[in-house]
Amino acid sequence: MTIDIRPIEPEDIPAIVALAKTTWLDAYAGIISSGQIDYMLAQRYARAGLETDIENPGKWLHQAFIDGMLAGFAACEICKGEFKLDKLYIHPAMQRKGAGAALVDHATALARGQGYPGMILAVNKNNARAIRAYMKYGFRVRDKVVTGIGGGFVMDDYIMEKPV
Ligand SMILES: CC(C)(COP(=O)(O)OP(=O)(O)OC[C@H]1O[C@@H](n2cnc3c(N)ncnc32)[C@H](O)[C@@H]1OP(=O)(O)O)[C@@H](O)C(=O)NCCC(=O)NCCS
């Protein structure tokens, strides 16, 4: 099995939008409402927004392929002076094959190369599978935050961090 990591290019975006939708519906059913899933997909994973993100020199969007098939993607950005893993989504059929770990390794190298001492992320407090994965990647819980995101919705998250 070969895992390749490549930057997301404009022509990749429709496949990334579809993968995000499938993965969100699988991961967040039972954690947040279907209304909140739809709201957040529209807010963060619409084609136009991702096109803007990949043009932004302060954001890094990468995709992982397992044996040539798209498996998932990650996005990183600088947030209040810290290097943040902002998105990490692996298609349900491709999970637990190491693509998440490979994308985190790639993000770690990016953060280190830019001189950041660590990497942070936010994860829903009830997303036990992802929290288990992040612990395995070396993240630890640093904080808890509840953030309003509009539409009457909140994100109820742990902030996790790891040295890079
Ligand atoms: C969490 C996620 C990114 C991990 O990526 P992955 O490629 O599936 O995971 P890896 O192959 O790197 O495995 C890492 C570890 O994660 C844990 N893990 C991943 N999926 C799991 C599952 N379904 N059940 C239990 N543990 C799981 C395991 O500890 C696993 O190690 P192991 O297989 O040796 O036991 C991926 O499962 C995913 O996209 N989940 C849904 C979306 C999501 O919640 N994203 C995070 C948002 S903050």
| CATH code for position 19 | 3.40.630.30
Q: Which atom of ligand 1 is nearest to the CA of 91?
A: 39
Residues contacting 16, CB < 8 A, separation 6+: 8, 45, 50, 61, 63, 70, 73
- Predicted local distance difference test score (pLDDT) of residue 99: 98
Pocket test for ligand 1, best of 41, 95, 141, 155 (most atoms within 8 A of CB): 95
Query: Look-up: residue for tokens 């429709």?
Result: 14
- Predicted local distance difference test score (pLDDT) of residue 114: 95
Does 37 contact ligand 1 (Cβ within 6 A)?
Answer: no
Does 133 contact ligand 1 (Cβ within 6 A)?
Answer: yes
Residues for the chain: how many in total?
A: 164
Kindly state the tokens that stand for 43.
């807010």
- Predicted local distance difference test score (pLDDT) of residue 112: 98
Q: Which domain holds residue 78?
A: 3-163
Does 129 contact ligand 1 (Cβ within 6 A)?
Answer: yes
- Predicted local distance difference test score (pLDDT) of residue 6: 98
pLDDT averaged over 10-residue windows placed end to end, the chain, 164 residues: 97 97 96 96 95 95 98 97 97 98 98 97 98 98 97 97 98
- Predicted local distance difference test score (pLDDT) of residue 127: 98
Domain count, the chain: 1
Question: What is the tens place of the pLDDT at every residue in 12-31?
Answer: 999 999 999 999 999 999 99
- Predicted local distance difference test score (pLDDT) of residue 83: 98
Ligand 1 mean position, distance from CA 19 (Å): 16
In the β-sheet with 59-66, what is the strand arrangement from edge to edge? Answer: 3-7, 59-66, 69-79, 82-90, 118-124, 153-163, 140-150
Ligand 1 mean position, distance from CA 100 (Å): 7
Residues contacting 104, CB < 8 A, separation 6+: 74, 85, 88, 137
- DSSP state, residue 45: S
Q: What pTM did the predictor assign? A: 0.96
